[in-house]
Amino acid sequence: MKKYITQILTLMMICIIGSSYSLHAQSIYKIANAKENDLKLSGISTLHNWSLETKTFTSEAQFGFKPGNEHQLASINSLTFSVAVSSLKSGKNGLDKDAHNALKADPYRNIFYTQLSATVTSAGGNKSLVKTEGNLNIAGVTKKVTISVDCIVNKDGTVTATGSYKLKMTDYGVKPPSLLFGTVKTSEDVALTFTFVYKK
C-alpha cells in the first residue's frame, strides 16, 4: 500500500513539474519597437507598380520553445494581427485616397488576421519555417488562408518573422482602384509582405 501511495505521489509531482515547465516554455510576445518592422501591399497598374506601406500595426503571439533551448521555436499556439487601413501610405495623396476607398476603410477600418493552427519546422539553428493557417479579414470579408513565415529567434530573445502572401482583391469584394479618371487601371493581384519583430 505504501509503495502504491509513493508511486501516486511521484506521478503527481511529475505532472506538476511538467505543467510548470510547459507554462514556462510558452510566452506571450508583442510587436517590439524595431526599425525592421514593416508591412506592405503592392501591385501593378497599366502605368507603373504601386505600393502602400506602414510601420504601425499590432500583433500578439504565444510562442513555444524546445525544452532547454530558448532559441529554437517549437510552436505558435496563438497569433493575432491588426493594421489600420488609413495607416497604409504610398506617398501620393491621390493613390492613398483611392486605395483607402477601395479597401472600404469606412466602415471597415482594420485589416486583421486570427490564427487557427500552425506547424513549425526547424530550418537549422535558430531558424524555423512556419505555416500558419487562419482567418484574414479585408474590407469586412473573411477568408481562410495559409501563410508561410520564416522565423528567427535572435540573440536578444526577440523573434523576427518575415513572409509574403499573394491575394486577389476581388476575393474580398474589393474593386481594384483606377486613377486619372479611369485611364490607369490596377490589377486585382496584390502581394502582402511583412517583417514583424516580436518581444516578450
Reported for 86-94, long-range contacts at CB under 8 A and 24+ positions apart, including other chains, are 87/54, 87/56, 87/57, 88/39, 88/41, 88/52, 88/53, 88/54, 89/52, 89/53, 89/54, 90/50, 90/51, 90/52, 90/53, 94/179
Q: How far is CA 117 from CA 1, 122, 132, 175, in A?
A: 45, 17, 6, 30
> How sure is the predictor about 112, in pLDDT bands with cuts at 50, 70 and 90?
very high
- How far is residue 179 from each of residues 59, 63, 73, 102, 168, measured CA to CA in Å? 32, 43, 45, 12, 19
Q: Which helix (H) or strand (E) holds 44?
A: none
155, pLDDT greater than 60: yes
Work out the average pLDDT over 56-85: 95
Q: What is the mean pLDDT of residues 95-124?
A: 94
For the chain, the structural domain boundaries read: 26-199
Which class for 9: exposed (0-12), middle (13-18), buried (19 or more C-beta within 10 A)?
exposed
Q: Name the residue among 163, 164, 175 with its Cα closest to residue 138.
A: 175
**For position 94, what pLDDT does the model report?**
83
What's the one-letter identity of residue 200?
A: K
Are 121 and 132 in contact by the 8 Å Cβ rule? The answer is no
Instruction: Mention the CATH class of domain 26-199.
Output: mainly beta
User: Of the given ranges (43-47, 102-106, 153-157), which has the lowest mean pLDDT?
Assistant: 43-47
Rounded CA gap, 123 and 47, in Å? 40
For the chain, the helix, strand and coil percentages under 3-state DSSP, each to the nearest 5: 20, 55, 25
Tens-digit pLDDT profile for residues 159-181: 999 999 999 999 999 988 665 55
pLDDT value of position 57: 96
Q: Which three cell numbers stand for residue 112?
A: 486583421
- pTM exceeding 0.75: yes
CA 12 to chain centre: 38
